[in-house]
Amino acid sequence: MTTKTIRIISIILMAIPSFMLVMSGVMKIAGAQQIVQGLTKGGLGSYITLFGIIELISIALFIYPKTYKIGFLLICCYLGGALSIELASGQPPMAAIFLTLIWISVYLKDKGMFIGLTKLEK
């Protein structure tokens, strides 16, 4: 594949979960009934707005080219927590799908993010 093709695929794979996380963050801040019920049922009802703000900040950092690395790490942490809650409550692991798409897109964009520390020390 050409560099241009890889870049386009990376952008598409980055856009899909980013859009979903933005929508999720906005719905949490707006207090959508389904979100409120689901998180309250899981015992996280008092943190709904905070989760929405964290999602939006993480995505903003991820989309901005100079801060995408810290955004990537924050999104990975957030989705890892979401995945653990989904698995513990018996829900389908949607966070795993978003996490996979984000990892693939960042790998295609910058393979250097995945080099081990031993290679960096040389």
Surface-to-core class of residue 119, CB atoms within 10 Å of its CB (0-12 exposed, 13-18 middle, 19+ buried): exposed
Q: What is the mean pLDDT of residues 87-110?
A: 90
For the cut 90, the answer to whether the pLDDT of residue 71 exceeds it is yes
Q: What is the mean pLDDT of residues 76-88?
A: 91
| Reported pTM | 0.83
Give the number of residues written for the chain.
122
What pLDDT was estimated at residue 43? 83
What pLDDT was estimated at residue 114? 80
Q: What is the mean pLDDT of the chain?
A: 87
